[in-house]
Every structure is written in C-alpha cells, then in structure tokens.
C-alpha cells in the first residue's frame, strides 16, 4: 500500500500528519523486531530524525523491539550529541554502527552486459550487490528506510535504494557506483531520476530485494529556510513508485534556476554538519551547473578540519588532490596507483570536487592550514578575514550586493541544486 502525503501550504506537513501517515503504514502488520535505517547526521534536514522517533514510539508502545542502523556509507559514526539532536530520546544504545568494509553480505551481481548497457559502454566489469547482513536477517519482520529525496551528484536524486546499497552497502558497490557516476558525468545526472547509477540500484532492488525482504521506504521532500525543517511531502511504499512521485516534488522544491551564470557565489557550511571536504564539497557539486566560466566560488568552511571521513580516504585526497577529471582518470590508470583503484569512491570524489578549471574555488578555513587546502588543489583564505566581507549572518539567500559587486549566497548547499537556465537542456 502506497501512502503519499503532500502539504497544502508552504509551511509543510504537521507532526500530527506525519505520525498519522506512519501509523497507517504500520496497520495490520504483525511485528516483533523492526530494523530502521535512517540517514546519519549529515542528512539532519531530511526530517528522518523525527520519523525515526515516531516509528520508535509507535512500535515500542506495542512491545516491538526496534534497532537503528544509520546509513553511514563511508561517514564516521554518529556521535552521542548528534544522536540526541536528530533522534531525541531514543537510547543511544539502540544504534548499530555500519562498517562498510566488513559488515556486508553479497546478494549477487549486476552483470557485465547490464553495466555496459546502463553506462553506455563506459564501464565493463560486473558490480557486486552488497548490503549490511542485518537487512537480510529474517529476525526482522520489517526493515524501514526513511530519508530525503534531494538532488545528488552521483545518483541524480538521493535516497530509496541508495540508502541501502550505499548507506549500508559494501565497498565495491560504494566505490564502483560512484566511479560510474563520475565517468558518466555529473551534469547528466543531478536533479534527474533515471540516471545510470539509479538504474544500477533499480537492478539490484528488482533482482535481489523486492519480494525477498519486507522493506518499507518513508521518503521525504524537505526544505529548511532559516534552519527550520519543512516537510513538503511524505511518500511511503515498498516499491519504486514512492520514489518516482517524490522525485517530481523534489524537482519543484529543491532545484533553483538562476537566469545567468554566477560570477561570484558564496556558500556557507554549517560547522555542526560539515567537518570535511568530503562533505563540504557539496558546495561545489550543487553549484557547478550554475557557475559562470571564470567565476569564483567562495566556500565559508569554519568547521572543516580534514579532507576524508576516514584516514585512508583523507590520505588519498592529500596525495592526489582535486585536479580535474582528466588528470584523475590518468593517474587512476597508472599501475603504481593501486591505492586509488582500490578506493574508487575516493577517485570519483576527486573528480566531483574539481571545477575542471572552469571556475575558481576558494576554501575559507580556520581549523586546517591554508597550505593544506592549497596542497589538494584549491585556493585558500582565512575564514575570519573573509567573513568580515561575506558575513553569513547578514547575507540573505540569493542575490546580494557587496561593495558594488553582485554575489549569490547559499546558506546550505545540501538542500538543493542550482542551475543556470541558459545552459540547462532539461
């Protein structure tokens, strides 16, 4: 049974409307153990935290055991402070940490011929479909996957199967899917539904999960003006249709068109959410389709203190840097760079995080040295100096004029996608 709730006003769905829809989705199910797979703190504005709390309250009130497996992907585990901010009074002890290199089982493959067809001949090896072993544990009568449908640089629109095959997936699925997305081209994917990586994940769902495990998706479309979450739609279902419908609304709510290429864009990264360039480069991914050739992207990054989310990836970023698609593919192919081929997700990230020389990128930092930032291929500036001119507390979303110069300000790049209408081909 699919349940689609779309808000009638810009203020979004009320908590009561969301809880009622969740209760309706749980009706008639005989449940003893439930596994909930919400996004981690980097998707705080998804409102999946509230949904998880509501599910936990409703289910435990009926005597159901509920375990929480955050969809970390390659991110660091949720801290207790982050947990309380996102998941409220659910005990921190209910969290199960996903270890993407060890905690998975292989369900099968996306075969070579399917990968070649989907990638239009750009990728030639089978893709292992791996997932956290708990998803396949028949102890759980139901697996619930809440999360936000929002533009994404790898898959086009985040969530649904991505929450499973990347969020609690294994190393090959994470690495290869990101590399295939990078090779096929971000601009062809972002903001769209049936992208190459989405089709790979659809294949995995159709062949290995649909009909084999009871998985309920609870997908949101949200915005967060002033940091206040507004849930414009909630799409609940066990198949593909809930994603299809959510994408339509997200394309309305989370894609902003600018009428001409941006000569100067300033993006602020909330320090509680963005502590690495691995996360902070959303400022690049989500604006690259709006930036003018020769323009400048200024990233205000007071919380960035490292590059990768784990030590291995951090070292790879420091070693190879954000130096463009062609350069990264060139070093990727060299036999002596096996470390990069063993971490294709990192290689894809390096491609995504460069402007390919089309526009300039300046990271403004305070918890990492400017020399380190310049060492990975960006320009660098002191955060405290730059905010004297570009104060995020004083800038409004969109166009501003600073010292006679037009700039475009984005307070949170994770919540949207910005596109130059003059160049967009639909």
Across the chain, mean pLDDT equals: 94
Q: Name the CA dihedral angle for 12, 14, 17, 19, rounded to a multiple of 10 degrees.
A: 120
Q: How confident is the model at residue 69 (pLDDT cuts 50, 70, 90)?
A: very high
Determine how many CB atoms are found less than 10 A away from the CB of residue 30. 7
* pLDDT, average across residues 378-400: 97
Residue 355 has pLDDT above 90, yes or no: yes
What the block records as the tokens of 268 is 């602020």
| Maximum mean pLDDT: which of 324-328, 332-336, 379-383 | 379-383
pLDDT tens, 71-130? Answer: 998 888 999 999 999 999 999 999 999 998 899 999 999 999 999 999 999 888 999 999
Report the DSSP pairing between strands 33-36 and 3-6: unpaired
Residue 423 has pLDDT above 90, yes or no: no
Residue ranges of domains in the chain, CATH in brackets: 3-253 (3.40.50.11440), 257-420 (3.90.226.30)
Q: How confident is the model at residue 183 (pLDDT cuts 50, 70, 90)?
A: confident
* pLDDT, average across residues 124-140: 96
Handedness of CA 38, 40, 43, 48 (dihedral sign): positive
φ/ψ of 393, rounded to 5, equals -75, -20
Model-wide pTM > 0.85 = no
pLDDT of residue 220: 98
CA distance 31 to 14: 27
pLDDT of residue 425: 57
φ/ψ of 141, rounded to 5, equals -75, -20
pLDDT tens, 249-296? Answer: 999 999 999 989 999 999 999 999 899 999 999 999 999 999 999 999
CA distance 332 to 307: 19
Encode burial over 119-153: b for 16+ CB neighbours within 10 A, e otherwise: beeebeebbbbbbbebbbeeebebbbbbbbbbbbb
């Amino acid at each position: 049974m699919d349940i689609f709730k779309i808000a009638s006003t810009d203020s979004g769905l009320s908590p009561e409307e969301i809880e009622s829809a969740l209760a309706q989705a749980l009706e008639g199910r005989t449940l003893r153990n439930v596994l909930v797979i919400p996004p981690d703190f980097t998707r705080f504005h998804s409102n999946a935290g509230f949904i998880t709390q509501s599910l936990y309250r409703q289910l435990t009130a009926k005597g159901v055991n509920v375990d929480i497996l955050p969809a970390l992907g390659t991110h660091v585990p949720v801290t207790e402070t982050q947990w309380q901010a996102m998941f409220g009074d659910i005990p921190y002890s209910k969290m199960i940490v996903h270890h993407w290199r060890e905690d998975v089982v292989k369900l099968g493959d996306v075969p070579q011929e399917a990968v070649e067809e989907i990638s239009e001949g750009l990728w030639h090896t089978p893709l292992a479909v791996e997932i956290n072993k708990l998803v396949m544990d028949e102890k759980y009568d139901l697996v619930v996957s809440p999360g936000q449908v929002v533009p994404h640089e790898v898959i086009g629109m985040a969530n649904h199967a991505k929450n499973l095959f990347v969020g609690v997936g294994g190393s090959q699925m994470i690495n290869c899917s990101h590399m295939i997305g990078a090779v096929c081209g971000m601009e062809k994917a972002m903001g769209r539904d049936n992208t190459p990586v989405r089709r790979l994940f659809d294949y995995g769902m159709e062949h290995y999960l649909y009909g084999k495990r009871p998985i309920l998706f609870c997908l949101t479309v949200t915005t967060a003006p002033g940091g206040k979450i507004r849930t414009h739609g909630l799409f609940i279902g066990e198949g593909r249709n809930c994603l299809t419908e959510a994408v339509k609304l997200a394309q309305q709510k989370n894609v902003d068109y600018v009428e001409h290429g941006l000569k100067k864009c300033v993006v602020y990264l909330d320090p509680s959410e963005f502590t690495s360039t691995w996360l902070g480069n959303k400022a690049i991914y989500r604006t690259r389709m709006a930036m003018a050739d020769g323009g400048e992207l200024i990233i205000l990054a007071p919380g960035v203190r490292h590059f990768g989310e784990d030590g291995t990836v951090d070292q790879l970023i420091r070693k190879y840097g954000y130096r463009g698609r062609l350069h990264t593919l060139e070093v990727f192919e060299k036999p002596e760079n096996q470390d990069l081929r063993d971490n294709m997700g990192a290689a894809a990230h390096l491609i995504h995080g460069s402007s390919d020389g089309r526009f300039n990128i300046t990271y403004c930092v305070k918890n990492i040295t400017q020399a380190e930032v310049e060492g990975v291929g960006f320009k660098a500036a002191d955060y405290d100096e730059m905010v004297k001119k570009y104060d995020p507390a004083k800038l409004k979303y969109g166009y501003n004029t600073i010292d006679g110069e037009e700039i475009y300000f984005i307070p949170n790049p994770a919540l949207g996608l910005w596109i130059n209408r003059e160049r967009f081909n639909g």
